[in-house]
Amino acid sequence: MTARHDIRRLTRFAASLFERSGMPADRARTVARLLIDADMMGHDTHGLNLAPQYLAALAAGEMPATGEPKRLSDTGPVVLWDGQYLSGVWLVDAAMDLALGRAREFGMCAVGIRRSGHIACLQSFLTKATDQGFLVLLLSSDPAAKGVAPPGATEAIYTPNPIAVGIPTDADPVLIDISCSITTMGLAGRKKAEAARLPGAWLVDADGKPTDDPAAGVALLPLGGTDSGHKGFGLGLMVEAMTSALGGFGRKDGPGQHGASVTLLLFDPDAFGGRQDFLAETSFLASACRAANVPEGSAEVRIPGARGLAAHREALANGVTLYPGIMERLEEWATRLGVDRPQPLN
């Protein structure tokens, strides 16, 4: 069995790695905490699994350890930053703090970040907003990458473009984190490395045929696949426009470095129909979904985020089990940076 790690101890360990790599202590702690939140929610590809590549980028100077985003625009409810390829995890969390104040003041706000570093697990950022009663949307694209083909094309043109949404209710928030492609570039890559097939014909091959074979596929299909891929395509274009185009930096600039175009939208229900009616409505709908008829013997409808929040609570109480290989790779960095490895719980 793989070791369980106490959350505080593991966070101090990861924060030390980032701090020894030159990050200010608070920033290092924020990045460590948000990555570990992803592991705790079960998103083990987007948690500490990313730390070695972040540490390598810090060591290579590709991700500056210090410095601030540059404010390019500020109308009050709209702010745009140039992220200078600083840690995207830290930038999005800082943008959220800014956005919470602006949404309270104006009723809604948008904070854009162009040239952000990689932002890891979008779902991790949402609870800071939902805990304070705000409806939050977080959108992202990477103008230096391509993975998804428009319907009918045999070539990747744009990225999967995730949309994360946090919806407060009277109980747990609804936490949505999806992409506008039918699957992720990560899954397709992993299956290709394993010479395995995908669960469905989610790729397009060079002849324009759908295929489940990652070796034959040239691009991901949009969400909706061959049936209704025009819908996923439309959503993908929406995210590109709301992130790279609004930010004024994107594919037209031919960026040589991976990075994220990010847009964060916050809505204060008190500026619309009021917090009480908002929560009553979101709670009513979540309950209606959970109470919906299901076939005999099936589990009830799962609300987005419910499983992750339950896993997060369990990990907070009993520690988190990291996906095999992650701690080993971090231990190499710990040795190099002179950081003590954390003692596991078992």
Residues numbered 33 to 72 that lie near a copy of itself (CB under 8 A) are 72
| Contact stretch for a copy of itself (CB under 8 A) within 4-12, 35-43, 51-59, 197-205 | 197-205
In this chain, which stretch among 45-53, 86-94, 273-281, 319-327 interacts with a copy of itself, using CB under 8 A? 273-281
* Closest C-alpha among 311, 320, 313, 316 to residue 345: 320
For the CB of residue 67, give the shortest distance to a copy of itself in the complex, in Å. 20
With beta carbons less than 8 A apart as the criterion, state whether 222 and 233 touch.
yes
Which one, 17 or 303, has the nearer CB to a copy of itself? Answer: 303
Residues constituting the chain: 346
Question: Can residue 144 be called a binding residue for a copy of itself (CB under 8 A)?
Answer: no
The answer to the question of residue 148 lying near a copy of itself (CB under 8 A) is: no
Closest approach, Cβ 19 to a copy of itself, in A, equals 33
Q: In the set 293, 317, 324, 340, which binds a copy of itself (CB under 8 A)? A: 293
What lies within 8 Å, CB to CB, of 106 at 6+ separation is: 76, 77, 271
166 close to 128: Cβ distance less than 8 angstroms: no
Minimum Å gap between C-beta 316 and a copy of itself is 25
Q: Which stretch binds a copy of itself (CB under 8 A): 54-62, 63-71, 161-169, 311-319?
A: 161-169
Among the listed residues 292, 317, 338, 340, the single contact to a copy of itself using CB under 8 A: 292
Neighbours of 234 (CB within 10 A): 14
Decide if residue 277 touches a copy of itself (CB under 8 A).
Answer: yes
CB 110, min distance to a copy of itself, A: 5
- Measure the CA–CA gap between 263 and 251, rounded to whole angstroms: 16
Residue in 10, 50, 110, 339 binding a copy of itself, rule: CB under 8 A: 110
Residue whose token pair is 């790279």: 244
Decide whether 62 or 270 has the Cβ nearer to a copy of itself: 270
- Position among 117, 225, 259, 342 found at the interface with a copy of itself (CB under 8 A): 225
Q: Is 261 helix (H, G, I), strand (E, B) or coil?
A: strand
Out of 159, 183, 211, 321, the only residue in the binding site for a copy of itself (CB under 8 A) is: 183
Choices 40-48, 185-193, 237-245, 336-344 (CB under 8 A): range interacting with a copy of itself: 237-245
Q: At what angle do helices 51-60 and 7-20 cross, to 10 degrees?
A: 20
Buried/exposed 88-105: b ≥16 CB within 10 Å, e otherwise: bbbbbbbbbebbbebbee
| 220, 188 Cβ separation under 8 angstroms | yes
In terms of CB distance, is 301 or 345 closer to a copy of itself? Answer: 301
Position among 155, 170, 314, 332 found at the interface with a copy of itself (CB under 8 A): 155
Task: Quickly count: other Cβ atoms within 10 Å of residue 62's Cβ.
Answer: 15
Q: How far is the CB of 315 from a copy of itself (least distance, A)?
A: 22
Strand partners, 264: 111, 138
Q: Which residues in the 12-31 window bind a copy of itself by CB under 8 A? A: none
Can you spell out the DSSP letters for 4-42?
A: EE-HHHHHHHHHHHHHHTT--HHHHHHHHHHHHHHHHTT
Closest CB 119 distance from a copy of itself, rounded Å: 18
Contact between 197 and 226 under an 8 Å Cβ cutoff? The reply is no
- Distance, in Å, from the CA atom of 34 to the CA atom of 51, rounded to the nearest integer, reads 11
**Residue from the set 144, 187, 216, 285 that interacts with a copy of itself by CB under 8 A:** 285
Interface residue with a copy of itself, options 154, 318, 335, 346 (CB under 8 A): 154
